[in-house]
Amino acid sequence: MSRSPLLVFVGHVSVDRVRNVWGEKVQLGGAALYAALGAKTIYDNVKIVTAVGRDFKHVTFLHSNFPGSIVKIVGMPTSRFTINYSEAFKAKYVKVEIGAGAAIKVSDLPKPWVREGNFIHLAPMRPPKVEKFIRQMRSASPRVWISMHTSPDYLEVSQYRRILRRLAEMVDLFVVNDHEALTLTGAGSLIHAIQVLKAKRLAVTLGQMGAIIVENGKPQLIPALSGLVPSPRDTTGAGDVWCGVLLAAYLQGGDWVRAVASACTLSAVKCLGWGFEKIVNLRFKSLDELTIHVLRLRESRGQLTLQDFVGREN
């Protein structure tokens, strides 16, 4: 019996201090961790590659959720981010300390994992480092699936924007939100940005509207659920969870429409609580089980209808 493809997330695991209208929390975070936890809700064969400091007290948590993962412990402090949110939940990174995250290297990625059939997702890291990962993985296995998303911080540097535009053409899936697409291309409209940004496969997230998938130059708008999170508790990591669920759902069914619907759903569920508390214990054997979970949320919150769940018939 063949083993299911491996889904690997490479990037930061951090300790975050988050402040928003609901208060302040110090909690585990990091794009790679959020993405991996999102994927784990619907897909079992998930691993992470990361680096943390000796001050990190949650190594057991990482290995228990992602057995066999690469968690390198180094002599630098664990990555830390201080994030303040406005009333409209617009994020401002007050303090960024990459620390141990800088020690993540291409050599940390086990060679047997880099092969055709496996999916490797690069969470936000410095674009030059991401490029090194991509080039070495492509050299080792030209047909291994590689996807990535980035962070607004990296778009502030013109050199990084040039690198990211180049990387968009090198990976199998490039994920940005609408604001990142505009910044990355300098376009005056999202339509123009999608036309300008060259990528084999592009996903542009639109927040509560859903997402646009562009494949072979053809854009497809996939609406999201409405009304699940009228008042979010914490939006930290929502985009990362979206990426993780998208890939896991695609591995489950090979359908981008349903994958986007699943990603939007679980990303919204994540926002119902602080950090990843609302998704860390969720496990669905199929996307149908996820649909049932959403309908139960609808019954308890009285805000969704079956028609809100896009892609059920496909």
Q: Is the pLDDT of residue 293 over 90?
A: no
Q: Is the pLDDT of residue 143 over 80?
A: yes
Mean pLDDT lowest among 113-122, 133-142, 195-204, 206-215: 206-215
Q: Which pLDDT band, with edges at 50, 70 and 90, does 217 fall under? A: confident
Averaged confidence pLDDT in the chain? 92
Stated pTM of the model: 0.93
| All structural domains of the chain with their residue ranges | 7-308
Tell me the average pLDDT across 13-34: 98
3-class secondary structure per residue, 187-253: CCCHHHHHHHCCCCEEEEECHHHEEEEEECCEEEEEECCCCCCCCCCCCCCHHHHHHHHHHHHHHHH
Phi first, then psi, for residue 111 (nearest 5°) are -60, -40
Q: Is the pLDDT of residue 313 over 70?
A: no
Alpha carbons 106 and 242: distance in angstroms, whole number: 24
Give pLDDT, residue 305.
Answer: 43
Q: Which pLDDT band, with edges at 50, 70 and 90, does 294 fall under? A: confident
Give pLDDT, residue 229.
Answer: 65
Of residues 308 and 162, the one with the higher pLDDT is 162
Pick the CATH number of 7-308 from 3.30.70.1900, 3.40.1190.20, 2.60.40.1120, 3.40.50.1970: 3.40.1190.20
Q: Is the pLDDT of residue 204 over 60?
A: yes
Tell me the average pLDDT across 34-39: 99
Q: Is the pLDDT of residue 2 over 80?
A: no
Residues 6 or more apart whose CB falls under 8 angstroms from that of 284 comprise: 41, 42, 290, 293
Tell me the average pLDDT across 265-289: 94
Q: Is the pLDDT of residue 130 over 50?
A: yes
Tell me the average pLDDT across 111-134: 98
